[in-house]
Structure 1
């Protein structure tokens, strides 16, 4: 009877937390904090309260990996790819790809080096652990920032840059994280074995391009069925099948990246629905996926609140500060040094005010939290990495995101597109 009772406890605990999260929206408006920040507070207070009452929630850190990777992340990645404005994406594709690919990879490496040097404990926090932390911390999340940009009618280019970077950045960061985590676990289990960098690069490319190719094929198949079906309800059923089907088959049967497959499939279905589905039906489908993504994001941030403990702040506060400082420094270098270097052309060059928003608006959120929650407890210093991730996310949500409107007002974004130029 222990198994069923434990499952009932998990479901009941999540239902209570979801019900409590209904308070997050009015509270976020009242105190002017991001909605997800309030969810974290609700999750933390709720979990502390039920533990104080002696109730076993049944929620275990060891169960987070499958829950996050197989249930929540596919929805978040697919919804972002499916709903992005492809016309605006095409116009700003080069800087987006530069931000999400070479600049992101360089940023992950720099973050790992800064964190490793900052911690300064090669035995307890080796370089391969720092690499996992670096990959985990580079994924950006525009959820807390884009709402401000849309409310003041900021230039579409800026919003697309932030959303597009996050879309590709998140999927690639998951692939990089998975590759480096496998490497870290292998080195930890057999420290005498050497690391073959060529094999690791080949494995990364296999995951990356294999996932993209399979996702493209699934998207083409989904586009065909979309053309045949053209029914609101069945289109939603089809999209759920494409999202989870592309992820599960790619990840568990083909040995390639499920996240890249979901990304490619989502972009293909986005294109297909623009061609085959009437505008009013697309509005219905978009709203339905917005609800799914909202639920997935809410659950991830509630789980973050549940996982946070006061001991993290008392025992790992220095690690959190090192991670926050490293992430800010790396983001500064990425936006003000690497982005102009990789985008030298006048037609694609981002102006100074746009870079200001990209720097301070590069918040961390759902994917960083999801990857942190999925860390295997067998990994050395996994709790330190998780504390770092939580510290960075809390900083971006409680400090960066609330001050983005101040930055936007300072550069007069509500006047015209010219106000972004210097």
Structure 2
């Protein structure tokens, strides 16, 4: 009798039912032991990865691998779109300047501070230090949105965190891509002798490039949503209108990316417009369509979030992380320091010079709540094979894992102590 190995069973056609079964198992365990199902999915992914690396179970881990571009273009955008759909217009108005500054200036500041600290304190090559600082600076939309759906904080604070995470992913991608492009043009990724220690940057050129990519993405997202609003007036069928909202998201992301603009920013702008203009305006869509569409996007976000966390777990090389704990610990400390150095001044300035006021407790939550995740892992996975990539992978995986197992429990405990039931309801 021919022996059937586990690796031969887990072929492509079985991946979808296995994935759905894994989600069900994680949800069941989460209900029983009161741990977020996403963290259980992360643990399952890590267990599969460790089993593959140690040879305990003959799994072909390649069958579970997800193309990092799939994460960037088709997993993160629905999460951003759904989160921005849910954001209330008045809450967004109350934090819009702070959110955009944190998502742009904040990410750039964190990249500069983190890059300098890693270069001069940790002794990493300049290119490695700044590339890592750029890909780790943005908070992860999947994790932040999931966490702030669960923790009990004032709605305005939750809106600030979700809006920042939705927009700053794009900033991180733009800055990281620019650093890598500069490094490639100067041969830093191609030298067999190692990694170069310096790069030359035209600051004005990079600022102009960033503005075009970022605000161009906003224009594409708003353009698609505004055009779809006209079509919604001509329709009165829930399934067709829900499909139209999906077409708006995918269309804006694909068109923005093809034009060299930010698809993630396009997704955020499209979701904000759809949720606050199209969904809430009278005579545009019916109550039935509004209910169908909202439920569809909640389900879509649920599956996208599940893929993101399982992808995180499967990507983790725990053995390599264990071999580089001192470097990872130093990098994690630098990431936290860069986050604090970029958020506190911005929020303090907003408190002093605008109507957007943030108590000290809120500033602490913003700093602690800036967790990292699938976006950073996906970005480093897009690099070509090189010594440069291997160094970045090790540090990135370790810092992301540290962020999840340290920051989330600390944030939850701090919020329970800092916010009463009365303050949360405000």
Q: Check whether TM > 0.5.
A: yes
Q: Which residue pairs with 2:179 in the alignment?
A: 180
Is 1:282 the equivalent of 2:290? yes
For the residue of structure 2 that corresponds to 1:349, the secondary structure is coil
Separation in structure 1 between the aligned mates of residue 327 and residue 38 of structure 2, nearest angstrom: 23
Structure 1 segment 304-323 matched on structure 2, within 5 A: 304-323=312-331
Contact 2:317/2:397 (8 A) holds in 1: no
Q: Which residue pairs with 2:4 in the alignment?
A: none
Q: Which residue pairs with 1:219 in the alignment?
A: 225
State the Cα distance separating 1:398 from its structure 2 match: 1.8
Structure 1 segment 13-412 matched on structure 2, within 5 A: 13=15, 15-49=17-51, 52-59=56-63, 64-122=67-125, 127-141=126-140, 142-150=144-152, 154-187=153-186, 188=188, 189=190, 195-252=201-258, 254-270=259-275, 271-275=277-281, 276-345=284-353, 347-372=355-380, 374-378=381-385, 380-412=387-419
Q: Which runs of 4+ in 1 moved over 6 A?
A: 5-8, 190-193
State the Cα distance separating 1:355 from its structure 2 match: 1.4
Contact 2:111/2:130 (8 A) holds in 1: yes
State the Cα distance separating 1:30 from its structure 2 match: 4.4
Separation in structure 2 between the aligned mates of residue 112 and residue 366 of structure 1, nearest angstrom: 21
**In the superposition, relative to structure 1, how do residues 380 and 209 fare at CA in structure 2: closer, same or farther (>3 Å)?**
farther
For the residue of structure 2 that corresponds to 1:297, the secondary structure is helix
**In the superposition, relative to structure 1, how do residues 31 and 386 fare at CA in structure 2: closer, same or farther (>3 Å)?**
farther
Contact 1:129/1:184 (8 A) holds in 2: no
Contact 1:9/1:58 (8 A) holds in 2: no
Q: Structure 1-normalised TM-score?
A: 0.86
Work out the number of aligned pairs and report it.
405
State the Cα distance separating 1:219 from its structure 2 match: 1.8
**In the superposition, relative to structure 1, how do residues 194 and 98 fare at CA in structure 2: closer, same or farther (>3 Å)?**
closer
Mean alpha-carbon deviation: is it higher for 94-103 or for 185-194?
185-194
**In the superposition, relative to structure 1, how do residues 384 and 378 fare at CA in structure 2: closer, same or farther (>3 Å)?**
same
**In the superposition, relative to structure 1, how do residues 387 and 225 fare at CA in structure 2: closer, same or farther (>3 Å)?**
farther
**In the superposition, relative to structure 1, how do residues 27 and 98 fare at CA in structure 2: closer, same or farther (>3 Å)?**
same
**In the superposition, relative to structure 1, how do residues 113 and 281 fare at CA in structure 2: closer, same or farther (>3 Å)?**
same
Separation in structure 1 between the aligned mates of residue 164 and residue 247 of structure 2, nearest angstrom: 26
| C-alpha RMSD of matched pairs (Å) | 2.9
State the Cα distance separating 1:44 from its structure 2 match: 1.9
Separation in structure 1 between the aligned mates of residue 398 and residue 139 of structure 2, nearest angstrom: 15
State the Cα distance separating 1:380 from its structure 2 match: 4.1
**In the superposition, relative to structure 1, how do residues 47 and 149 fare at CA in structure 2: closer, same or farther (>3 Å)?**
closer
Separation in structure 1 between the aligned mates of residue 389 and residue 132 of structure 2, nearest angstrom: 9
Separation in structure 2 between the aligned mates of residue 134 and residue 393 of structure 1, nearest angstrom: 13
Structure 2, unaligned runs of 5 or more: 1-6
Mean alpha-carbon deviation: is it higher for 284-293 or for 332-341?
332-341
For the residue of structure 2 that corresponds to 1:291, the secondary structure is helix
- Measured against aligned partners, the alpha-carbon deviations of 1:81-113 in whole angstroms (never above 9, x if no partner) come to 222222211122122222222122211221222
Separation in structure 1 between the aligned mates of residue 174 and residue 206 of structure 2, nearest angstrom: 12
Contact 2:256/2:266 (8 A) holds in 1: yes
Contact 2:103/2:138 (8 A) holds in 1: no
Mean alpha-carbon deviation: is it higher for 275-284 or for 165-174?
275-284
State the Cα distance separating 1:264 from its structure 2 match: 2.0
Mean alpha-carbon deviation: is it higher for 353-362 or for 407-416?
407-416
Contact 1:98/1:339 (8 A) holds in 2: no
- Measured against aligned partners, the alpha-carbon deviations of 1:297-345 in whole angstroms (never above 9, x if no partner) come to 2112212211212322233323321221012112222333332034423
For the residue of structure 2 that corresponds to 1:255, the secondary structure is coil
Structure 1, unaligned runs of 5 or more: none
Separation in structure 2 between the aligned mates of residue 240 and residue 234 of structure 1, nearest angstrom: 10
